[in-house]
Copies of this chain bind each other. A is one copy, B any other.
Amino acid sequence: MSNADAKQRAAAWLRDLEAALVRSDVSAALALFADDECFWRDMVAFTWNIKTMEGKEQIAAFLSATLADTEPCAFRIEGDALEVHGVTEARFTFETKVARGRGFLRLKDGRAWTFLTVAQALKGFEERSGPAREKGVEHGVHRDRTTWLERRTAEEASLGYTQQPYCLIIGGGQGGLALGARLRCLDVPTIIVERNARAGDSWRNRYKSLCLHDPVWYDHMPYLPFPDHWPVFSPKDKIGDWLETYAKIMELNLWTSTECRSASYDDARKEWTVVVDRAGESVTLRPRQLVLATGMSGVPEIPQFAGAERFRGEQCHSSNFASGAAYAGKRCVIIGSNNSAHDICADLWEHGADVTMVQRSPTVVARSESLMELAQGPLYSEQALANGVTTDIADLTVASLPHRVAPRRAAKVYEEIKHRDRDLYQRLDKVGFLYSFGEDGSGIHAKYVRRGSGYYIDVGACELVANGSIKLKSRVTVENLTATSVVLTDGTELPADLVVYATGYGSMNGWAATLISQEVADKVGKCWGVGSDTAKDPGPWEGELRNMWKPTQQEALWFQGGNLMQARFYSLVLALQIKAREAGLPTPVYGLQPVHHLS
């Protein structure tokens, strides 16, 4: 079937769907979906939630509940359609009563296998961009004219003092800044508080050798893509500087050197009371919406090993490790075997330290080059751009794959990676390194979605492990520490001057416990993960990331986090939810998720 035929087929299907939806004929709509497996994933357009309906029963219930309020219409194919291995793929636009949206459709044998609908803009509250951009200066002559600088200065002086922000974002990393930028463009008065002295410090303050493990095409911030000469892998200080200039260019109200001290919600007044310390001054803010953008990784977790308090050397969590420079000739033990552990081991080795990695459980490992080519290449690369796959199209394509389906597709990629890099895996095996491709072979991205950890994107340290430069102790954990050593469960005693706990982070709701209360943290429950019933992501199946970018059990509390791609894509999804509330639009949430786990 040609692409023109594919487009025609997709357009016909969309017409049929629209006809069914317009006359609220749920069974006619259902008949358009495949019998064996089908999904409707919606982001804010129908559900005011992020939700994947799996199978006809769930789709029927969803449509019956949302159709009357939503009034969907004007479904139109956008761009070209494709026919790939018997699946018709097409993007489309549509409208609802209050929103404009885009979507992605996959047909098998003429019926829908996957169907995605995402809100993109609220009618009457569109961003002033392109042809609708502001003029910038009021032509004509006006007594008492104020300039851009005067207005900006007045806003900075009043917001948070004489005027309350509608939204407060805790955290000025990529997540907070991207959401702040969206809200700025949607004209929602917002303050972002960042405890560091400069935007981007959360990157700058990490270990010296850190760089983004995702390539540049994946990492654009909203509105201001990287220039074409930006390096493939951004060094941490460079991305720090970029975020700092980004905040300035986007005119964000970013309060640096500001820490959140407490936050509580008044159910009656529908308002938060948040006390922050702004460079020594206590300021009480009363926003309507509170967003925790404190890092998807949550609070650092350090296991309680017996004897840790007796250890006379240095101990730190990986998040506090700055550089291997001070450790030439020193004996360093790194507990953990994921990304940070590998990076820190390599950094220490490069500085001449004696390094031992303690691997307690298997790690998903894949070479960066292989991932770039096989996993990310089709969507995020120069080649993808040359094929017409813009960042925007790539993001929509990623969103179009339900969490049930994505791991299956990924497993095929890892079959190829396994074969291509078999030498590396054999050599890792030989030194006893426990590598894995995940419980279902779905690799790194699935691990990231399920638990945000458990993998290493190999940028060089695997070779050091394989050739013994980094010593390895695997299939063991720590029994206890002595004054001068780490004792493992197999009896090995590792003399140590430095112990680094590359042992990961808790769930993001740990930040809610710290900043708000344990009660609220428990009320919203665990963040991240989809209920895959794999390590650190217990069932039941949820189908979407817990609590991320969508309503939680705590009214007016939101979680924004993840990598740069997620910061870019989901910042719009979340910003529209906040804007709708600010604008007073009805936002009936369909299928608010129950809490199954506290952390």
Binding site for B on A (CB under 8 A): 127-131, 133-137, 139-145, 147-149, 152, 185, 208-209, 211, 216, 223-224, 227-235, 237-238, 241-242, 245, 248-249, 346, 349-352, 368-369, 382, 459-461, 463-464, 469
CB distance from A166 to the nearest CB of B (A): 19
With A350-B142, A459-B139 known to touch, is A147 a contact of B208 (CB < 8 Å)?
yes
With A141-B349, A144-B350 known to touch, is A231 a contact of B135 (CB < 8 Å)?
yes
With A136-B231, A141-B349, A237-B147 known to touch, is A248 a contact of B249 (CB < 8 Å)?
no
Count copies of this chain in the complex.
Answer: 2
In the complex, the answer to whether B133 meets A235 with C-beta atoms within 8 Å is no
Residue from A133, A137, A148, A224 whose CB has the most chain B CB atoms within 10 Å? A137
Nearest opposing residue in chain B for A131, CB measure: B382
In the complex, the answer to whether A134 meets B237 with C-beta atoms within 8 Å is no
In the complex, the answer to whether B249 meets A242 with C-beta atoms within 8 Å is yes
Taking a contact as CB atoms closer than 8 A, the residue among B139, B223, B459 that contacts A228 in the complex is B223
14 contacts between A and B (CB under 8 A): A129-B228, A133-B228, A133-B232, A136-B233, A137-B211, A141-B463, A141-B469, A143-B350, A145-B209, A185-B229, A223-B227, A224-B227, A227-B249, A242-B249
**CA–CA, A459 to B245, complex, Å?**
31
What residues of chain B lie closer than 8 Å to A209, measured between beta carbons?
Answer: 145, 147
In the complex, the answer to whether B133 meets A231 with C-beta atoms within 8 Å is yes
What residues of chain B lie closer than 8 Å to A230, measured between beta carbons?
Answer: 133, 136
What residues of chain B lie closer than 8 Å to A135, measured between beta carbons?
Answer: 231-233
In the complex, the answer to whether A232 meets B134 with C-beta atoms within 8 Å is yes
In the complex, the answer to whether B350 meets A235 with C-beta atoms within 8 Å is no
In the complex, the answer to whether B134 meets A231 with C-beta atoms within 8 Å is yes
**CA–CA, A237 to B128, complex, Å?**
20
**CA–CA, A382 to B131, complex, Å?**
6
Taking a contact as CB atoms closer than 8 A, the residue among B127, B141, B223, B463 that contacts A350 in the complex is B141
In the complex, the answer to whether A140 meets B223 with C-beta atoms within 8 Å is no
In the complex, the answer to whether A130 meets B228 with C-beta atoms within 8 Å is yes
CB distance from A568 to the nearest CB of B (A): 13
With A141-B346, A143-B352 known to touch, is A237 a contact of B148 (CB < 8 Å)?
yes
What residues of chain B lie closer than 8 Å to A369, measured between beta carbons?
Answer: 139
What residues of chain B lie closer than 8 Å to A352, measured between beta carbons?
Answer: 143
**CA–CA, A223 to B137, complex, Å?**
25
- 20 new A-B pairs (CB below 8 Å) besides A136-B211, A137-B459, A147-B235? A130-B228, A130-B382, A133-B232, A134-B229, A134-B232, A135-B231, A139-B368, A140-B459, A141-B346, A141-B463, A141-B464, A142-B350, A143-B351, A147-B208, A147-B209, A149-B235, A152-B237, A185-B229, A241-B248, A245-B249
With A245-B245, A350-B142 known to touch, is A238 a contact of B129 (CB < 8 Å)?
no
CB distance from A469 to the nearest CB of B (A): 8
With A235-B148, A350-B145, A461-B141 known to touch, is A229 a contact of B136 (CB < 8 Å)?
no
**CA–CA, A149 to B238, complex, Å?**
7
In the complex, the answer to whether A148 meets B238 with C-beta atoms within 8 Å is yes
**CA–CA, A349 to B144, complex, Å?**
10
**CA–CA, A349 to B224, complex, Å?**
38
CB distance from A421 to the nearest CB of B (A): 14
Q: Which 9 A-B pairs have the closest CB atoms?
A: A136-B231, A148-B235, A149-B237, A140-B460, A137-B211, A245-B245, A136-B233, A131-B382, A129-B229
In the complex, the answer to whether B231 meets A137 with C-beta atoms within 8 Å is yes
Taking a contact as CB atoms closer than 8 A, the residue among B133, B139, B459 that contacts A229 in the complex is B133
**CA–CA, A547 to B517, complex, Å?**
69
**CA–CA, A127 to B127, complex, Å?**
35
**CA–CA, A45 to B145, complex, Å?**
49
Nearest opposing residue in chain B for A352, CB measure: B143
What residues of chain B lie closer than 8 Å to A133, measured between beta carbons?
Answer: 216, 228-232
**CA–CA, A119 to B350, complex, Å?**
44
**CA–CA, A211 to B149, complex, Å?**
11
CB distance from A79 to the nearest CB of B (A): 16
**CA–CA, A346 to B137, complex, Å?**
14
**CA–CA, A42 to B152, complex, Å?**
45
CB distance from A183 to the nearest CB of B (A): 13
**CA–CA, A235 to B133, complex, Å?**
14
**CA–CA, A231 to B229, complex, Å?**
25
**CA–CA, A486 to B136, complex, Å?**
36
Residue from A141, A143, A248, A349 whose CB has the most chain B CB atoms within 10 Å? A141
Nearest opposing residue in chain B for A458, CB measure: B139
CB distance from A162 to the nearest CB of B (A): 23
With A141-B350, A461-B141, A463-B141 known to touch, is A128 a contact of B233 (CB < 8 Å)?
no
CB distance from A458 to the nearest CB of B (A): 8
**CA–CA, A104 to B147, complex, Å?**
41
CB distance from A327 to the nearest CB of B (A): 13
With A136-B211, A211-B137, A245-B248 known to touch, is A223 a contact of B231 (CB < 8 Å)?
no
Nearest opposing residue in chain B for A232, CB measure: B135
In the complex, the answer to whether A229 meets B127 with C-beta atoms within 8 Å is yes
**CA–CA, A231 to B139, complex, Å?**
13
What residues of chain B lie closer than 8 Å to A245, measured between beta carbons?
Answer: 245, 248-249
CB distance from A154 to the nearest CB of B (A): 13
**CA–CA, A515 to B101, complex, Å?**
59
**CA–CA, A439 to B249, complex, Å?**
43
**CA–CA, A369 to B127, complex, Å?**
23
What residues of chain B lie closer than 8 Å to A461, measured between beta carbons?
Answer: 141
